[in-house]
Copies of this chain bind each other. A is one copy, B any other.
């Protein structure tokens, strides 16, 4: 079963990667770019056809490895 996990930094948490890109764009004279934020999307292929079990497993994997719960939020999308 295919799963997409959208991981976003919480709005109140600074995004150093986005800030670095923002500075690079300003150096190239793109002065009208007000903000850059960079999120990640994790695509998983899980060998299990039960959406409920997959959802439970994905939540556990997010808590253990995929997401930093202090800085980030996530939404998991199960493609049934």
Contact = CB atoms under 8 A, between A and B. Distances in A.
Chain A interface size, under 10 / 10 to 19 / 20 to 34 / 35 or more = 20 to 34
A37 B44 CA distance: 7
A38 interface: yes
Interface in A20-55: 21, 24-25, 28, 30, 32-48
Contact of A32 (B24, B46, B66): B46
* Number of identical monomers bound together in the oligomeric complex: 2
A44 B38 CA distance: 9
A68 interface: no
A77 to B, nearest CB: 13
B46 A37 contact: no
Interface of A: 6, 18, 21, 24-25, 28, 30, 32-48, 57, 61, 64-66
The 6 closest A-B pairs by CB, nearest first: A32-B47, A35-B45, A34-B45, A37-B43, A39-B41, A24-B65
